[in-house]
Amino acid sequence: MLSLFDVTVNFDRSHLIFPILVSVVLAILGSVILVTRRTDIGAALAATPRWPAGTDKARLFGTVALTIIYFLAMERIGKAIPNRGFGFLFASMPFVLAISLLYMHGLPRRRVIIAVLNAVIAPLVVWFILSNLFNISLP
Amino acid sequence: MDILSDLTPLFFFLTIAGTFVGIIFGAIPGMTATMAVAVCLPLTYSLGLINGMALLLGLYVGGISGGLVPAILLNIPGTPSSITTTFDGYPMAQRGEGERALKLGIAASLFGGMFSLLILYLFAPALADFAIKFSYVEKFLIIFLALTVMAALSGNMLIGIFSGVLGMLISLIGAYDVSDGGNGEYRLMFPFMEYYLDSGFSLLPVLIGLFGLSAILIEAEQGVNEESGLSGMEISRSTPFRWSDFGGQFVNLFRSASIGTFVGLLPGVGGSAASVLSYSQAKTFSKTPDQFGKGNPSGVIASETANNGLTGGALIPLLSLGIPGDSTTAILIGAFTLQGIQVGPLFIGQNMETWNMMIIAMLVANIAMFVIMFYAIRNICKVVTVPKHLLFPVILMMCVVGSYTINYGIMFDVWTLLIFGLVGYLFHKIGLEVAPFIIGFILGPSAEVYFVKSLESYGNLTIFFTKSWIALVLWVLIAASIWLSVFVARKARV
């Protein structure tokens, strides 16, 4: 006789059992959070300005934008000159320099020179050690 | 004899170098032990498991320890686990006892690290031997227990468990793995994503994104304080350190190390909880609680003993059950996966050599940490003043290397890094917790296999209660942890 707790697992649909269970638990937890914290959430959504004072949007969005450009450039160069890690090497140099300049407060000449040296030497060292000494594949 | 042949100069060099780099990472606010391990992971690809572990464990011990330097000298915790070190360390430094506070903290860190290492060595094999008897049912319940404990001890119970379950759901994206007995069908994604997400998101890009890239995005949002805020560090030494300062501190040391190790055992609970709990206990049991917060050496000792006590403790569930004790040990899972080794109850028995070498690496790392920090503390203060505008781009570059090389060259993993870097930043903004998310992400696929296979094998839901006495004990522990979380939430409201 089948009891209330008996379960038959259909193998063809077994991939959905756990995701559905987890989604239901997540939905319940999310609803409880929304209900118990509705005042806080409402206040946060209605807050103006949306970004708190002191947020450095230029550096934040600059980092995201430069990172996306970095990844795209790395992929392109890597496809044009494959299997040598040049995508990593030649995309990293301008990226490291650009991020350094973005994070620098003011552009004094000495610091810029050090940043340029850092941008050339650091990727070169990493590329040489990983790609040439350890034979690790780089883009 | 195998062990002797593994004790090469390279092994010692990597452990000591890892410890040194870890200390630097720990000492720079915004950079953590987890970040150090994540960023340096690609270097272990060619080192093999033992030497790779030597490097990573050195980074772990060093990263946890380095945070005390700015905590004491500048009132800025280098890592979250050094928060309570600032309470008494900084007032001590202000009244001219900087060197004394630092050396007290360093020696206390050594004690905490050694104590937890001893517990790890004694306890992990015994727990693993016991866990070998577990069937899918008990294994699923262990994961369930891990989630409830994590929720009970996170800052906010609901947010903690929500973050953990969200991590679990994200981990299920992809095919239900045939090698785990699944049917190979895709779920939780659109058909065009099948090519990229056949095996779901890779663990390491996810980890590196959440702990490396997102930390830099958070710093960028705050304008990147260029000099790390550390250029003003000076070590005052009007009252020199004496070993006799530890007189009467035995109970404090022992209690704090025990708390640190125990908190380490609990999944997803980090060093900050260990040091806060230990500090509050030291204050409660002190004869002069009013002196805490005003430069009481007992406060520095309690905090630093506990956060280093975490290191050995967090490795116990990792190496005996396959459940990481904190976010840094979660990354160590990635290092094991990289070498084709699965951590779980069978790990220690089948990899005795690696296990012994890990213990030796932890021992060497703790001693190296003590020697480096105790005798070269002034030099460390100079090294950590490297400007962030030079450091961060290099770290970003290393994040890319780590993500790309994990699966031997898949560009999608690099994009995963960016996606989860943004996810980590978003979590920070809306108040979700990263550590439970990661533990849920790591344990999700195993939980699915254990749950579904239990149902397939026994065909009845009651099996989760009736399988064995171990299952019943686990349910009692689950109920206790849920009760604890409700109790803590109510107490906080009163």
For the stretch A15-74, pLDDT in tens is 899 999 999 999 999 999 999 888 888 887 777 777 777 788 999 999 999 999 999 999
Residue A96 pLDDT grade (very low, low, confident, very high; cuts 50, 70, 90):
very high
| The residue type at B435 | A
Structure tokens at A71: 């990844």
What percent of chain B clears pLDDT 90, i.e. is strictly above it? 32
For the stretch A54-66, pLDDT in tens is 788 999 999 999 9
Q: Write down the pLDDT at residue B121.
A: 94
Structure tokens at A132: 């040439």
Q: Write down the pLDDT at residue B493.
A: 66
CB B446 within 8 A of CB B143: yes
Of all residues in chain A, the one with the smallest CA distance to B450 is A18
Tell me what the pLDDT averaged over chain B comes to: 86
Q: Write down the pLDDT at residue B148.
A: 83
pLDDT tops 90 at residue B73: no
CB contact under 8 A, A19 and B461: no
pTM: predicted TM-score of the whole model, two decimal places:
0.84
Of A30, A99, A134, the CB nearest to B393: A99
H/E run at residue B272: helix B271-285
For the stretch B395-414, pLDDT in tens is 899 888 888 877 777 889 99
For residues B365 and B47, give the distance between their C-alpha atoms in angstroms, rounded to a whole number: 18
Q: Write down the pLDDT at residue A62.
A: 96
CB contact under 8 A, B394 and A96: yes
Chain A residues with CB under 8 Å of B147 CB are none
Query: Does residue A122 sit at the B interface (CB-CB below 8 Å)?
Result: yes
CB contact under 8 A, A103 and B183: no
Instruction: Give the range with max mean pLDDT: A7-11, B145-149, B216-220, B338-342.
Output: B216-220
pLDDT tops 90 at residue B294: no
Between residues B57 and B293, the one the model is more confident about: B57
pLDDT tops 70 at residue B229: no
Interface with chain A: mutation pick from B163, B218, B224, B231, highest number of A CBs within 10 Å = B224
Interface with chain A: mutation pick from B147, B221, B423, highest number of A CBs within 10 Å = B221
Q: A84-93, B76-85, B431-440: lowest mean pLDDT where?
A: B76-85
For residues B106 and B366, give the distance between their C-alpha atoms in angstroms, rounded to a whole number: 10
Query: Does residue B165 sit at the A interface (CB-CB below 8 Å)?
Result: yes
For residues B237 and B230, give the distance between their C-alpha atoms in angstroms, rounded to a whole number: 18
Q: Write down the pLDDT at residue B179.
A: 82
pLDDT tops 80 at residue B151: no
Shortest Cα–Cα distance, A62 to chain B (Å): 9
| Phi, psi of B168, deg, nearest 5 | -65, -45
Q: Write down the pLDDT at residue A19.
A: 95
Question: Is B99 in a helix, a strand, or coil?
Answer: helix
Q: Write down the pLDDT at residue B98.
A: 85
Which ranges of B322-387 would DSSP assign to H, the alpha helix? 327-338, 347-350, 352-375, 377-383
Chain A residues with CB under 8 Å of B396 CB are 67, 95-96, 99
CB contact under 8 A, A67 and B213: yes
CB contact under 8 A, B405 and A138: yes
Positive or negative, the Cα torsion across B399, B401, B407, B412?
A: positive
Contacts of B51 (CB under 8 A, 6+ apart): B8, B10, B11, B14, B44
Of all residues in chain B, the one with the smallest CA distance to A6 is B460
CB contact under 8 A, B460 and A6: yes
Contacts of B302 (CB under 8 A, 6+ apart): B84, B108, B252, B255, B256, B275, B278, B279, B281, B282
Between residues B39 and B113, the one the model is more confident about: B113
For the stretch B123-132, pLDDT in tens is 899 988 888 8
Look at residues B116, B121, B51 and name the one whose alpha carbon lies nearest to residue B354: B51
Query: Does residue A40 sit at the B interface (CB-CB below 8 Å)?
Result: no
Residue B268 pLDDT grade (very low, low, confident, very high; cuts 50, 70, 90):
low
Chain A residues with CB under 8 Å of B393 CB are 95-100, 103, 118-119, 122
pLDDT tops 60 at residue B1: no
Q: Residues B43-50: what's their mean pLDDT?
A: 82
| The residue type at A133 | L
Query: Does residue B158 sit at the A interface (CB-CB below 8 Å)?
Result: yes
pLDDT tops 90 at residue B339: no
Q: In Å, how far are B21, B93, B246, B277, B382 from B101, measured between CA atoms?
A: 22, 7, 12, 20, 18
Look at residues B267, B327, B319 and name the one whose alpha carbon lies nearest to residue B142: B267
Give the DSSP letter of residue A131.
I
Question: Which residues in A12-39 are b (16+ Cβ under 10 Å) and which e?
Answer: eebbbbbbebbeeebeebeeebeeebee
